[in-house]
Amino acid sequence: MYVAHRPDPGLSHVAYQHLALEDCPRDLKLGLNLGFYRVFGIPAIARVLAGTGELMDRPLVRAKATGALMYTLVEHGLDSSAGREGVSVLNRVHSRLPVGNDEFVYVLGAFCVTPMRWTDRYGARRTTAREKLSAHAFYASLADRMGIGSVPGSYVRLARWMDDYEHRHMAPSAEGRALLEATRTVLTARFPPWTAPAVRAASAALFDAPLRKALGIPTPPAPVRWTTGAALRLVARRGRGAASG
| Phi-psi category of residue 192: left, alpha or beta, with phi > 0 → left and psi -120 to 50 → alpha | beta
With 50 as the cut, is the pLDDT of residue 2 above it? no
Q: How far is C-alpha 23 from the chain's CA centre?
A: 18
pLDDT at residue 3 in the model = 44
Check: CB of residue 56 under 8 Å from CB of residue 50.
yes
**CB crowding 62-94: b at 16 or more within 10 Å, else e:** bbeebeebbbbbbebbbeeeebeebbeebeeee
pLDDT at residue 55 in the model = 80
pLDDT at residue 194 in the model = 61
Kindly report the pTM of this predicted structure.
0.86
pLDDT at residue 112 in the model = 97
Check: CB of residue 169 under 8 Å from CB of residue 44.
yes
With 90 as the cut, is the pLDDT of residue 147 above it? yes
pLDDT, mean of residues 67-86: 94
CA angle 53, 173, 162 (to 5 degrees): 95
Give the pLDDT confidence of 167-206 residue by residue, as tens digits. 999 999 999 999 998 888 776 665 566 656 666 777 777 8
pLDDT at residue 64 in the model = 85
Report the SS3 class of residue 125: coil
